[in-house]
Amino acid sequence: MKKNTSPASPRKSLAQQVAQQLQQQIESGRLAVGEQLPTEPALMKQYGVGRSTVREAVRMLMNTGQVSVQQGRGTFVLRRTPAGESLSQRLERALPDESAEVLALLEGMMARLAANRRTAEQLNRMDETLLRRRQMAERHDAHGVDETEQQFYDLLARAAGNPLLTDLHHALAHSLRTRTAPSGSQPETDDDLQAMYENLVRQITEQNAKKSGKIAQNIRTAHH
């Protein structure tokens, strides 16, 4: 068994564990905004903890701005996510499936915009990048394939002509890459992916925004 050399994470207190589980219910929508949290006795029974632990957990959620205690009425959900949370912090908490779904939407939008805004130079660079991707795939170089795909999406984002969209895509794609390994597609499936990328550039060249967006989303789905 591989020895874990990273520092051990401090063990969460019971209150932190209860707060985290309640937070997950709030963020998933199982406890909706405006909904009342179960009573203290119900939470004590549900989590098998004492009253002081439940009260501390609720205080933690109050500190994040997610719940509010209304005297004589109970504790109510104010917001799904912690107040003041940065985008990078939220992305760190996102599940890979969630990130992939949002990336598919962003890349579809980028492709649709690029179909109407791309320049001849950008199209040439996309073609050159996909040629390098094919060469990397033929060498079974997973890292090289991943690198050229990143370059391709940087070009696609620039061709879309929206700097904010570019920044959002970069942040989300980087967050997903740091938590997943390069796809390392098998030769038979990579041929299909390569064809999809080349078809995407073809549709962008022909300024077919609808097809471009659909293909871009399909590529992300195939990757994931």
**Whole-number Å distance between alpha carbons of 46 and 18:** 10
Sequence-ordered list of residues with C-beta below 8 angstroms from that of 158, at least 6 positions apart, any chain: 122, 166
pTM above 0.75, yes or no: no
| φ/ψ (deg, to 5) at 76 | -125, 150
CA atoms within 13 A on the CB side of 192: 10
| Residue ranges of domains in the chain, CATH in brackets | 14-77 (1.10.10.10), 87-223 (1.20.120.530)
pLDDT per residue of the chain (224 residues) written in tens, 0 to 9: 444 443 444 567 899 999 989 988 998 889 999 999 999 999 999 999 999 999 999 999 998 888 998 888 899 998 887 766 667 777 777 778 888 999 999 999 999 999 999 999 999 999 999 999 999 999 999 999 999 999 999 999 999 999 999 988 988 888 888 777 555 555 556 889 999 999 999 999 999 999 999 999 999 998 86
